[in-house]
Amino acid sequence: MEGVWGTIKSELFRGRKKVIFKDKATAIKAINSYIEFFNQERITLKMATLIS
């Protein structure tokens, strides 16, 4: 589980040390959007480079 959070922090926040969200709902929406991207698109992009 710790590896997942490390990936989210490094890729979602892209090097920004401190990210401040307007409210809890905004933070949850950002994390959910990233998880959807990670599960659907990111893996597809990785597979495309392996096929080429």
Whole-number pLDDT of residue 3: 75
Digit-coded pLDDT (tens) for 1-35: 567 788 888 877 776 777 788 999 999 999 899 88
Q: How many CA atoms lie within 13 A of 22 on its CB side?
A: 4
pLDDT at 48 > cutoff 80 = no
Q: What backbone phi and psi angles, to 5 degrees, belong to 13?
A: -95, -10
pLDDT given at position 40: 80
Provide, for the chain, the percentages of residues in helix, strand and coil under a 3-state DSSP scheme, each rounded to the nearest 5: 75, 0, 25
Both tokens of 47, joined, read 């597979």
Residue 46 is predicted with a pLDDT of: 61
Residue 45 has pLDDT above 70, yes or no: no
The tokens describing 31, both together, are 């994390």
Predicted local distance difference test score (pLDDT) of residue 22 = 93
